[in-house]
Amino acid sequence: MKSGIRGPTTPIIMHKAPTLLSLQSHHHAEVDALIQRLEEWCILPLMIFKHDWNSEILCQFWATLYIDEEHKVLHWMTEGLHYRYDYRQFYHLLGFDRDDRVAPSLYDLYPNVAGKDDFVEAALYVDPTRANGKTDGLKPYFYVLNNLLRATIDPKIGDATTVQNHAPTILVCFGLGKRFSVTDLMWRHIQEVSLTSSQSFPYAPYLMYIIEQVTGFGFHHDVTHPDWNVKRLQAEASKGKEPATDVGGSEPELADDDEPHVSSMDPPASASDGRGRGRGNATRHVQQCFMSYFCYC
């Protein structure tokens, strides 16, 4: 499997880093229970993980990404050099243990996206008759979880009042206590994005960390991974949409200016100022070298 080579304006999702203190400060039984479950499933450290990134290095990664599906290995090029890591390294670098690796895939647990009957069974809503896939009416446990997912392991852009992408199924799994493999979820999402030119690039902080670990280089970071303080526990449905909030002061109710937005993947102006690696515009050269290396045309 090879990735589609996108243009220079393909966006990268602007992830946020939830702060553990803001979660713990609620002293709310449901939020405390959520924190405990996230810890048990080894997801919490990844969610609160904070790591800035270099947009050009990530551009090189996505532009040259090749996925060996049979052996579950990712190949890419950074500044003209070929690197690779396999699935086992992937879950280790993300901080997961063997329990996550052997846990069932979300796709196997629910081949189709979870729906209303699943929402009712998992008791996601305060009023089961309002189990309609909207955030309004979700219990605090699931409302906060959905917002955490949007900013971290299941990033999305758009309507903040709707539970989207993998989130409906993930919420159901949490409600029913069905552990799934987060490693598998993220690995497959990378595969999906690599083949879909219309999608935005996810996992900037995680991939940047992995690239630096694998290459052994520390790169200049031109994009800051912002902190995010989780404050609201319920949707404000009376306003028709979830209001915008300030970075660092509230949860990502992804509406207007506060949603995890996208930033251009054009090489940053500061990339050529000599501060660390990841400078200059080597992307076109890297693409050509990589396509030649794997005999693609």
Handedness of CA 4, 200, 136, 146 (dihedral sign): positive
Of 268 and 42, more confident: 42
The predicted model gives 68-84 an average pLDDT of 96
pLDDT of residue 260: 53
Residue 107 has pLDDT above 50, yes or no: yes
pLDDT of 266: 43
- Mean pLDDT for 156-181 is 91
CA distance 216 to 236: 46
Does the reported pTM lie above 0.95?
no
Whether residue 202 is predicted with pLDDT greater than 70 in this model: the reply is yes
Sequence spans of domains, the chain: 12-293
Give residue for tokens 């090879």.
2
Higher-pLDDT residue of 97 and 187 is: 187
What pLDDT is stored for residue 109 in this prediction?
A: 94
pLDDT value at 21 more than 80: yes
Distances (CA, A) of 195 to 60, 72, 184, 192: 16, 16, 17, 5
Q: What is the mean pLDDT of the chain?
A: 80
For residues 252-275, give the mean pLDDT. 41
Q: Which of 7, 14, 63 has the alpha carbon at shortest distance from 223?
A: 14
CA 275, 6, 69: angle at the middle one, nearest 5?
A: 100
40-74: per-residue pLDDT in tens?
A: 999 999 999 999 999 999 999 999 999 999 999 99
Is the model's pLDDT at 268 over the cut of 90?
no
